[in-house]
Chains A and B, each alone.
Chain A
Amino acid sequence: MKVWALHLALIIALAVALAVLPPYPATTLARILVLAVFAMGYNLAFGYTGLLSLGHALFLAAGVFAAGLSAQFWGLSAGPALLLGVAAGGLVAAAVGLLALRTAGVSFMIVTLMFAQAGYLTVLYFGTITGGDEGFNLPAASRTVFGFDLSTDTPRFVAALVLFAVGLLASLALVRSSFGRSMVAMRENEERSRMLGINPFAVKLAALVLSGLYAGAAGAAYALLFGYAGANFATIQYSILPMLYVLLGGAGTTIGPFLGALLMFGLIEVTSRMARLWPVLEGMDYFLIGAALVVLVLFAPRGILGTLRERGLKWLP
């Protein structure tokens, strides 16, 4: 009960924040919520199942381009385009998982990285359709859902919050289910779980597909809410980002991905403001963020919520 109340309270707090914050922080929060969905998906694979992937940019980009291209060429509106993006993320994750899950550990990282790189180059190769590295702007007509214009503040905030809330509650339900415990069993001791009658390949594949569904949803939503689809979403940077969010917030915690995304955005904001005050820091934003992350890994290797769970809040899911 306490767990569900915490999650509902977070959603309500975010709704209030979106309603009362000035436009810039509110828009930034909407961006954070969408990227937190991506990180939640990553967390299902990495945080709970122990699958350290370097290829999640591919699943994100699948969502970006499924939604973007269907809006561009078929004139789909935001609702169907989003569903297509979710499906694309899941399908690509299934295809990658069927092959990549024959490996484990460092090999899995390398294979997923190579798949993502192949995906990035594929986007460039079909540049006449995908817009290549430049990408393309989504048509305004496609950025509507139930008659609401997603390029305006309130519908965009509501859409981002609904997506986040569904993702968060589904993630909570999942990790508290028996399947969720099977995922954790993969992370903790795959051989032992096999002896208990769990099929590791099936569980890991299902977890990766679920993770892909989240990434696809986030990619599609980001494209639809902010009007741009481009190859940069398929670059390795977007495989690293969700990992950083998860590590910072706490791997294997349901709220950790959101907290990590929030803190990363906050760090970028603070360092860029500092650079304006002290020009010597210009261009050092990402260096400072890197330094902050190194400190975190040294002193709180389980991330913020992971550390809190370790030090008393054992009920945190």
Chain B
Amino acid sequence: MTKGLLHPTRRGLLMAGGAGLLSAALPGYVAAQGAPIKIGFQLHRTGIGAAYGRWYERTAQAALKAINDAGGIAGRPVEILFEDDATDPKRGSEVVDKLTQSDGCDLVMGTLFSHVVMGSAPRAGELKVPYLVCSEGYHVASGMLNRWTLQPGITDVRSQIASMAPWVSANLGKKVTMIFPDFAFGYDHRDFFTAAMAAQGGEVIAQIAIPPTETSFTKYFAQIPAETEVLYHVMVGPAVLTFVKELGEFYGSGAKPQMFGFIDSLEAVDTATPGLEFLEGTHFWEAHNRVKPADAGEHEAAYRAAVGVDDNGASVSDAADIATYSHMFSTWETLFAIKAGMEASGYAGIADRQKFVEAMEAMTDLPYGIERPQGAKVFNGKTHQVFGTQNISQVQGGKLVRVHQTSMADGAYEDAVDYTTMSF
């Protein structure tokens, strides 16, 4: 009896059936392996953080392109869904909800303003979705949040501030007057810099807090004590340019103390703006130098080209469009940290979110490279916070020129929390 196509054996039928099942299942498996990883981006497109949001989006898009051009994450393409949170904590929580539950994102990232982080983190914890913030706030490392919230892309403000004190006290003066916004961000500066100066043998002789609703500042400048050697200033929000201009008008061409500011006062503002001439010779903290330093690292040029920023820190397509250069690298570095964490954990889908967080917690040394154009960093898995070096720049000829780079030890402090002991 011949056995052929018309008279199959039982084994043949089973094999054919098995092959059929395999071929039916395989495309699905292949599709799952090749399906894009979806990253939700909580974006300050409108509201008080809009100037930052615009550049955060551009930088994230550039990092996304770089990652996808290099083969994606574990061979899977990556896509980012941007959602405006209006820089509002209530809306921020809703956005985490939407990106996670409605859009099915694998994780959420990108938040800058601290109050939006605080408002959103509880929802991320409830949804058990990794929430990677780019905020520099001390809220993560202080232990206020939860195990699902991490900050792997930018040093926190406590470390940034503390690392400034040794150089300021050694080079600018010992008696400091501080001007800062009268809310939590300003209090971080007030508290951490005051303590750091005391540790250096210096003294903060006056602390001038300016209400966030203020639009005129001259009356506060009159409170600066005459014996002030260093004026430390930091301001954020729409009135920053008015603040700095009025500071210049207050001192005019007369004698003035040494000035040290956080670049937050001038993010997205051209230092050569008319009215800011008095800033010549003054100093600023910068996380990432807006004007490309002469001795910049080998990856700086490639990073600037990718994010569309020229050597002066402006958009390559519009010289008047100044980047928020000292903060925006955090989105780039966070995306590359996500790539590293997902690949280390063997992340395959949302069931592996916990494995991803554990892989992030296991990270330590993060060397300098195109993944981290701002500089080498160390990630502290216990506090979920990354730490890196900082820069001090001087305004010379209307441009910010780096004059000092801190060491990581300058900004070190004791751990305040161990998130790894918390439950998921």
Could you list which residues of chain A lie within 8 angstroms of chain B, going by C-beta atoms?
22-25, 27-28, 31, 117, 121, 124-125, 127, 131-138, 151-152, 222, 226-228, 230-233, 237, 272, 275-276, 282-283, 285-286
Q: Mark B157-192, 1 if CB is under 8 A from A, else 0.
A: 000000000000000000000000011110100000
Complex Cα–Cα for A228 and B88 (A): 12
Residues of A within 8 A of B185 (CB): 133-134
Q: Which of A23, A136, A285, A286 contacts B118 (CB 8 A)?
A: A136
Given A124-B183, A137-B144, also A228-B122 (CB < 8 A)? yes
| A28 adjacent to B126 (CB under 8 Å) | no
| B93 adjacent to A226 (CB under 8 Å) | yes
- Whole-angstrom distance between the Cβ of A235 and the nearest chain B Cβ: 9
Secondary structure type dominating chain B contacts: helix
A-B contact count (CB 8 A): 98
| A135 adjacent to B122 (CB under 8 Å) | no
Q: How many residues of B contact A (CB 8 A)?
A: 37
Residues of B within 8 A of A124 (CB): 182-183, 211-212
| A286 adjacent to B89 (CB under 8 Å) | no
Complex Cα–Cα for A138 and B123 (A): 12
Residues of B within 8 A of A151 (CB): 122, 126
A-B contact pairs, 11 of them (CB 8 A): A22-B101, A23-B101, A131-B118, A132-B184, A134-B139, A134-B183, A135-B118, A230-B89, A231-B183, A232-B88, A232-B115
Residues of B within 8 A of A117 (CB): 213
Secondary structure type dominating chain A contacts: helix
Complex Cα–Cα for A285 and B47 (A): 12
B38 within 8 A of A: no
Given A133-B185, A134-B114, also A228-B101 (CB < 8 A)? no
Residues of B within 8 A of A24 (CB): 97-98, 101-102
- Whole-angstrom distance between the Cβ of A163 and the nearest chain B Cβ: 17
Q: Could you say which of B79-87, B374-382, B405-413 contacts chain A?
A: B79-87
Residue of B nearest to A150 (CB): B126
B275 within 8 A of A: no
Q: Mark B58-96, 1 if CB is under 8 A from A, else 0.
A: 000000000000000000000001011010111001100
Given A24-B98, A228-B119, also A132-B89 (CB < 8 A)? no
Q: Which of A22, A138, A222, A282 contacts B45 (CB 8 A)?
A: A282
- Whole-angstrom distance between the Cβ of B272 and the nearest chain A Cβ: 28
B152 within 8 A of A: no
- Whole-angstrom distance between the Cβ of B174 and the nearest chain A Cβ: 27
Complex Cα–Cα for A91 and B101 (A): 38
B373 within 8 A of A: no
| B118 adjacent to A27 (CB under 8 Å) | no
- Whole-angstrom distance between the Cβ of A38 and the nearest chain B Cβ: 12
Given A24-B101, A27-B101, also A121-B211 (CB < 8 A)? yes
Which residues of B107-130 have CB atoms within 8 Å of chain A's CB atoms?
114-115, 118-119, 121-123, 126
B316 within 8 A of A: no
Residues of B within 8 A of A222 (CB): 90
Complex Cα–Cα for A34 and B141 (A): 32
| A283 adjacent to B46 (CB under 8 Å) | yes
Q: Which of B45, B90, B126, B183 contacts A132 (CB 8 A)?
A: B183
Residue of B nearest to A265 (CB): B94
B417 within 8 A of A: no
Q: Which of A31, A133, A226 contacts B184 (CB 8 A)?
A: A133
Complex Cα–Cα for A152 and B127 (A): 9
